[in-house]
Amino acid sequence: MNESLKDRLFREPEGASTGLLWISFGIFCFYFERITESGSSFWLLLGSLLILVAIPEFLPPEYTYVAGLLRIIIITVAILAVLFSVLVF
């Protein structure tokens, strides 16, 4: 818990196995939305965000700065998507 936010965001990508795990969670969210037909955009939003989280994990280890920037962009998109979904729906 002593790890700073900068160290956490700009760490080395964890690899394809972690990226595939995030992608599988995202696909599960899409599948769950499909079988439940809830009509809510929550599962689609969550699935999309989980797939976006996987993108920095596929980068080579020396691209820590690019991975950190992608993580910051993904966090910003997630916050804006949640705010938009709350304000519109």
Q: Which of 68, 49, 48 is nearest to 59 (CA)?
A: 68
Query: Residue 51: is its pLDDT beyond 90?
Result: yes
Report the chain's mean pLDDT, rounded to a whole number.
87
Pick 20 or 37 by higher pLDDT.
Answer: 20
39 against 18, higher pLDDT: 18
pLDDT digits (tens, 9 = 90+) for 17-34: 999 999 999 999 989 888
Q: What is the mean pLDDT of residues 36-61?
A: 87
E strand or H helix that includes residue 63: none
Taking 80 as the threshold, does the pLDDT of residue 57 lie above it? yes
